[in-house]
Structure 1
Amino acid sequence: MDNIIQGIAIYALPVIFAITLHEAAHGYVAKYFGDLTAEMAGRITLNPLRHIDPVGTILLPLMMFVTSKLLMGSGLLFGWAKPVPVNFGRLRQPKKDMLWVAAAGPGANLLMAFFWAAIIKLGMNMPDSIYLKPMVLMGIAGIEINVVLMVLNLLPLPPLDGGRIAVSLLPSRLAWKFAQIEPYGFIILLVLFISGVLSVVLWPLIIFTKQMIVTLFGLYI
């Protein structure tokens, strides 16, 4: 039980900020390209409380972490925040600008992974103290959750960010047909997850990205 409580304490901040800042980034970039929907809804803010979904940001990740810790000895996490409202029709160039709005979320996760890597580097260069181990462990958790969210969201499946990027890049006729998948996107994602195909596709990309960050920052974790 102590390990579970310690794990929750270490993962809490990285998970909340990874999920909520991902959504905030969509709103910031949408505003830049002309859509003020998120701003009018009060969602262009770095305050996590404005983005937290009680189920997706807190309850589900907590239940998954505790259950996986008890059953497998390692914590698994998945969650979401309240989606930032974006009206793509209000963007100055909807099809073109959609790419940047969609890419903002995974981009924010990559920047946060870099931030947590810098925290680890700082912790490794500090004299031994009672704060050293928690700082490094929180940094590891931050890299892990942000890389997973980034890679998952870049999967080219509407309504994930990667799906919207694909719609932006495809020729108009193909883009319209591809966008019709969106109502079934999460069902397809669930099938891929249950069948194990999702892990086969994403896990090598997750490992590669984590290794890239570790190498870039000269970490030994």
Structure 2
Amino acid sequence: MRDIHVGTVVLGFVAFLFSLCVHEFAHAWTSERFGDDTGRYQGRITLDPRAHIDPIGSILFPLIGLLGGGFIFGWAKPVEVNPSRWKNKVIANIAVSAAGPLSNLLLALGAAVVIKLLIVSGGVGRADALSLFTGRELTDPQALFGLAEPLLIFLRMMIIINLLLAIFNMIPIPPLDGSHILSSILSVVSVPLMEAYESLRPYGFFIILIAAFTGLLSMIYLPLMRIFLALLFTLL
């Protein structure tokens, strides 16, 4: 049991770190599409983890969560942008902010597609592909030369982690990506309302902590997780 637990932690950490790198890469790459090359100048348009990891947020916190078997929480170094270089500031801010969560949704979809291909090719059975989501044992753990279980665990982690990152980051609490999108929308609808909303930004981290400890965050992301998982399962 200990070996399986350690293996799951390693696979989960790799999936989480890769997903964070893709998330930050997407922010930097999209910002450059709108005329801001700050991310390229700082070496952030890359999937090299060394460019994105934060020792506390990308390593310590995720490992604590994985080892504890609980909520996987963490962050990478934020991508710096220069809005003065954007060609269309409102559209650019929305697109750049949404790029990270969208990349995570695409990674989750990609993992589901790989599982589907494994099923169609006969590499694994559909029951085994779904087993790690339902808690059942694999009926044929020796499939794919004994790699079926770690591969399915990794793909499961990719789906769960990326859905979690996408949903969490779209919550409109500063400094999450969703807050930048909402702020951009409010700047068009009502500048005073946008300014009032922006006044909450210095307290965003504390709002997130309160929402987490009171269970408000789980009330938001868990139903959405179930919806997205149900949609992905229709592919299998």
TM norm structure 1: 0.90
The structure 1 residue matched to 2:76, chosen from 65, 77, 81, is 81
Distance in 2 between the 1:154 and 1:89 partners? 24
Q: CA distance change for structure 1 residues 176 and 96 in 2, over 3 Å: closer, same or farther?
A: farther
The structure 1 residue matched to 2:184, chosen from 153, 168, 171, is 168
Distance in 2 between the 1:27 and 1:185 partners? 23
Distance in 2 between the 1:82 and 1:30 partners? 16
The structure 2 residue matched to 1:106, chosen from 98, 101, 108, is 101
- Residue 13 of structure 2: aligned partner: 12
- Residue 148 of structure 1: aligned partner: 164
TM norm structure 2: 0.84
Aligned-partner SS, 1:46 = coil
Distance in 2 between the 1:55 and 1:119 partners? 31
Identity among equivalent pairs (%): 37
Runs (5+) with no aligned partner, structure 1: 69-74
Distance in 2 between the 1:142 and 1:61 partners? 14
Runs (5+) with no aligned partner, structure 2: 125-142
The structure 2 residue matched to 1:197, chosen from 210, 216, 225, is 216
Q: CA distance change for structure 1 residues 200 and 56 in 2, over 3 Å: closer, same or farther?
A: same
Whether the 8 Å CA contact 2:13–2:62 is kept in 1: the answer is: no
Distance in 2 between the 1:20 and 1:205 partners? 23
Matched AA of 1:154:
M
- Residue 116 of structure 1: aligned partner: 111
Return 205-214 or 166-175, whichever deviates more: 166-175
Aligned-partner SS, 1:80 = coil
Deviating 4+ runs (over 6 angstroms): none
- Residue 184 of structure 1: aligned partner: 203
Distance in 1 between the 2:222 and 2:68 partners? 21
- Residue 42 of structure 2: aligned partner: 41
- Residue 23 of structure 1: aligned partner: 24
Whether the 8 Å CA contact 2:169–2:176 is kept in 1: the answer is: yes
